[in-house]
Amino acid sequence: MIRRWLATMVLAGLASATVAPQAVLAQAKSERSEFLKSVRERDGNTATELLNRPGTVVVNTREFTTGETALHIVTERRDLTWLKWLLGKGASPDPRNKAGETPLQLAANLGWVDGVEALVGAGAAVDERNNLGETALIAAVHRRDLALVRSLLKAGADPERTDNSGRSAKTYADLMGPGPMKSVIDDTMSEQAARKAMTYGPGA
């Protein structure tokens, strides 16, 4: 009788140990989905409530099919208020979606200078490459967006970082021929070379 009771208790304990983690995982999945939904729908109350839960990590959660995070979502709609709010809540500035794009690269593709500057200010890496090897600066040159190019160069973007074809932002600017785009990049590279010479030269 006692053996049967002990066996029953052991089996019950094993069952609860199996069910509990599954319930926790299901709840976490539900919270992640709810958070991304609240961001898409601009539901600040729900998003705040989810972010304020003890131990939560939903701020950096990814959408399963696209790999998008909340930062990708708000960048795509050029929403500076939500972008700054999420960054202030600890959102990582450099997550990649399934195309390998960071929020900074999305902002550059949109020509959204304010978004680029907010992300850079939060520590976003300026020279990350997407699955095609394209950097934010290369995207800005392709757009012929001089203001965006200036902003990225000021943030330290490398004009010579190449894409998968072996071409860089400088290469693409050179192919455009003489003009403001080429001048801005050439001037920046000259200034960078001069600073290096002053730092590492014989008199340093």
Q: What is the pLDDT of residues 70-108, one digit of tens each?
A: 999 999 999 999 999 999 999 999 999 999 999 999 999
For domain 73-204, is the CATH number 1.10.3720.10? Answer: no
- Looking at residue 171, the DSSP 8-state letter turns out to be H
**Residue 53 pairs with which residues in a beta bridge?**
none
Rg (C-alpha) for the chain, rounded Å, is 24
Is the per-residue pLDDT at 2 higher than 60? no
Asked whether the beta carbons of 159 and 170 are under 8 A apart, the reply is yes
Report the candidate in 69, 59, 66, 67 with the shortest Cα–Cα distance to residue 31. Answer: 59
**Residue 168 pairs with which residues in a beta bridge?**
162
Q: What is the DSSP string of 155-187?
A: TT--TT-B-TTS-BHHHHHHHT-SSHHHHHHHH
Is the per-residue pLDDT at 19 higher than 50? no
